[in-house]
Amino acid sequence: MGHFTADRFGQSGPAHSPLYSVPLQVKNATHLLYRYEADREAVEDLLPAGCELKNGPAMVWAMVQTSDDYPVPYTGTYVFPECEFEGSDYVFELFLMVTSDVAMASGREFWGDSKKLCHSQVTWEGNEVFTTCERPRSLSLVNTHFRIERQIPPEAAPELPPGLCMKMIPSSEEGAPLQVHQYVEDATQLIPAMDASGRMEIYQGTGSVWMPSPTDVWPIHRLQPVRMEDAYLIRGDMDFGYGKILKDFSS
């Protein structure tokens, strides 16, 4: 009889060598944040049932998070439309592409972020940074371009609403419904770094987001910007803690 019991498991699989533990941390990262307006009908068509757009323009957040430091060196590209669910504001975590198995597995298993692996490049030239997100390689799905212009106080930067994830885990049995089907609120905290003068490293600038490949294999091109709102760069750490189940369709 085997002796390896649940009290010896890690927080994630493989049980003998866990891939990640919670809370997850991304250290010394550069965060590129873009807000833009997209086509309202296109956003509504991609929102899950029960989520609604707020009045006014259909706003979308795009973010690139990149770090070369432990414990999670990776680059992630994200596109999140703003929405409401049961009276609260969220961003629906629609498009999540990452370069690390830790980032992909933790997102899928823990919060329900349906992440995929991708190929990303982050290229700096002076005060400008250009990023690409490709899957397969050489097929660009989302590109961003940012120019740093001024350092700003934290109260001048917008606050990203909490994320709403659609957690889906299929059943192992043929013909059975999803084993897990939930809406989950994730828990993230972005802590800006301090520069030598004691100011937080939060910068405003000019930014662009575009989706150069109109493929229905990943129809993120339907959320192409119709108007850029603003763009920011924030250096610092991000902590990913325990989330909250908002609705459980599988119970």
- Residue 230: predicted pLDDT: 98
- Residue 125: predicted pLDDT: 98
pLDDT tens digits, one per residue of 200-212: 999 999 999 999 9
- Residue 10: predicted pLDDT: 84
Over residues 123-136, mean pLDDT: 99
pLDDT tens digits, one per residue of 18-60: 998 888 899 999 999 999 999 999 999 999 999 999 999 999 9
- Residue 110: predicted pLDDT: 86
> Does residue 16 carry a pLDDT above 80?
yes
Please check whether residue 243 is in contact with residue 184, taking contact to mean a CB–CB distance below 8 angstroms.
yes
At residue 251 the predicted structure's pLDDT band, cuts being 50, 70 and 90, is confident
- Rounded-to-5 percentages of helix, strand, coil across the chain: 10, 50, 35
Instruction: List beta partners, residue 236.
Output: 29, 192
Residue 213 makes CB contacts below 8 A (sequence gap 6+) with 139, 140, 141, 221
- Residue 23: predicted pLDDT: 81
- Residue 101: predicted pLDDT: 96
125-150 in b/e form (b: 16+ CB < 10 A) is eeeebebbbbbeeeebbbbbbbbbee
> Does residue 65 carry a pLDDT above 90?
yes
- Residue 144: predicted pLDDT: 99
Distance CA 148, CA 132 (A): 18
- The ranges assigned to domains in the chain are 21-163+188-237
8 φ/ψ angles, rounded to the nearest 5 degrees: -105, 0
Sign, Cα dihedral of 76, 82, 88, 92: negative
pLDDT tens digits, one per residue of 66-96: 999 999 999 999 999 999 999 999 999 999 9
- Residue 143: predicted pLDDT: 99
Per the CATH hierarchy, to which homologous superfamily does domain 21-163+188-237 belong? Acetoacetate decarboxylase-like (2.40.400.10)
Distance CA 187, CA 66 (A): 19
At residue 171 the predicted structure's pLDDT band, cuts being 50, 70 and 90, is very high
Q: Mean pLDDT in the chain?
A: 96
> Which 3-state string (H, E, C) describes 60-106?
EEEEEEEECCCCCCEEEEEEEEEEEECCEEEEECCEEEECCHHHHHH
